[in-house]
Amino acid sequence: MAKIILSPLFLMLSAVLLISLIILLRTDKESSTESSKKSLLFLVFILALVLWVVSTPVISLKIAGILEEPFRDSSLLIPEQEVEVVAVLSGGIQEGPEPELDILGEASAHRVIRGVKYFQVSQADYLVLQGALAGDTPERMTELMKELALDMGTAEEAILLEPHSGNTREHPTELLELPEVSSDSNLAVVTSAWHLLRTEREFARYFADLTLVPAEFISHDRPEGIKAWLPQVSGLRTSTRSFHEMIGIIWYHLRYRLNL
């Protein structure tokens, strides 16, 4: 509890809310200048209050749950039909001061671990690791994903790297550039549960036989009691990630509708 109360996020939001509320309650002049100041303070108060709300675990997890709800069925974790190719979508890396200190980001690690387990159980022919890293070494992310897959016992000859796709829209088209993959392939796509809605829409445009495999859920692990209603960095991160994904879904939809 002390860590939450003493965190910069909690202290700053509390200060802004308290100060703006006190000034609003003490401001009762009707001049146009004072009215303008009061409107501005009221806007600041509302924005701080909204930020407080979406940073609380109880609200941020509900927001993330909107994206993850369709994929909570445990049967999605176990192959129910024949799979030829398992594609794992990347989710970023954490770069170190030297390449040897680079590590997979949390989302990427979750996806590779789930993907390898699914690949091993499904007895698919190929495990494809997808995603390009921005900068001079776009292949670095898939290389790190491959290292983890090898450490988990995956045969090297079964691993294919696709280090060219930079976003969800490019993943299926770049996947089809591999000679081992065709639009008729029985494909399983592994990514974070909150990312599956957009992934499904993009891959379904190119693959008729598609299985979706959730790898990372962020709408769980809710703290109990008052902690669930206090703003936390983890809650703000969850809400931010969810809003970003929702905006991405809308943007992709508009691009197709407008042929952009």
Q: Assess if residue 198 is contained within a domain.
A: yes
Shared domain check, 44 and 130: no
Shared domain check, 209 and 183: yes
Q: Assess if residue 251 is contained within a domain.
A: yes
Give percent above pLDDT 70 in the chain.
95
Q: Output DSSP code: residue 131.
A: -
Q: Assess if residue 210 is contained within a domain.
A: yes
203-239 confidence digits (pLDDT tens): 999 999 999 999 999 998 777 788 889 999 999 999 9
List strands edge to edge, sheet with 210-214.
159-162, 126-130, 85-89, 187-191, 210-214
- Collect all residues with Cβ–Cβ distance below 8 Å to 208 and sequence separation of at least 6: 183, 184
Position 136 scores a pLDDT of 82
26-75 confidence digits (pLDDT tens): 776 555 566 777 888 889 999 999 999 999 999 999 999 999 999 987 76
Shared domain check, 99 and 60: no
Position 32 scores a pLDDT of 57
Position 159 scores a pLDDT of 98
Shared domain check, 95 and 155: yes
Model pTM score: 0.89
| Mean pLDDT, residues 167-185 | 96
Angle at 202 between CA 201 and CA 204, to 5 degrees: 70
For the chain, what percentages of helix, strand and coil (3-state, to nearest 5) are there? 55, 10, 30
CATH number of the domain that 183 lies in? 3.40.50.620
Token couple for 113 = 């671990």
Position 99 scores a pLDDT of 83
- Kindly give the residue spans of alpha helices, DSSP state H, lying in the chain: 2-5, 8-26, 32-55, 57-68, 106-122, 140-151, 171-175, 196-203, 233-258
Size (the chain), residues: 260
Pick the residue with more confidence: 127 or 32?
Answer: 127
Angle at 207 between CA 204 and CA 209, to 5 degrees: 100
Position 30 scores a pLDDT of 58
Position 67 scores a pLDDT of 96
Q: Assess if residue 221 is contained within a domain.
A: no
Shared domain check, 40 and 135: no
Q: Enumerate the β-bridge partners of residue 86.
A: 127, 188
Q: Are strands 85-89 and 126-130 parallel, antiparallel or unpaired?
A: parallel
Shared domain check, 189 and 138: yes
Shared domain check, 185 and 97: yes
Shared domain check, 254 and 135: no
- Domains: count for the chain: 2
Rounded Cα gap, residues 84 and 213, in angstroms? 14
Pick the residue with more confidence: 3 or 183?
Answer: 183
Shared domain check, 40 and 96: no
79-101 confidence digits (pLDDT tens): 777 899 999 999 999 988 988 89
Q: Assess if residue 104 is contained within a domain.
A: yes
Position 78 scores a pLDDT of 74
Cα 126 versus chain centre, distance: 25
Shared domain check, 142 and 45: no
Expressed as residue numbers, the domain containing 25 is 2-66+231-258
Position 154 scores a pLDDT of 96
Shared domain check, 173 and 192: yes
Q: Assess if residue 226 is contained within a domain.
A: no
Shared domain check, 17 and 60: yes
Q: In this structure, are residues 176 and 130 in contact, taking their beta carbons and an 8 Å threshold?
A: no
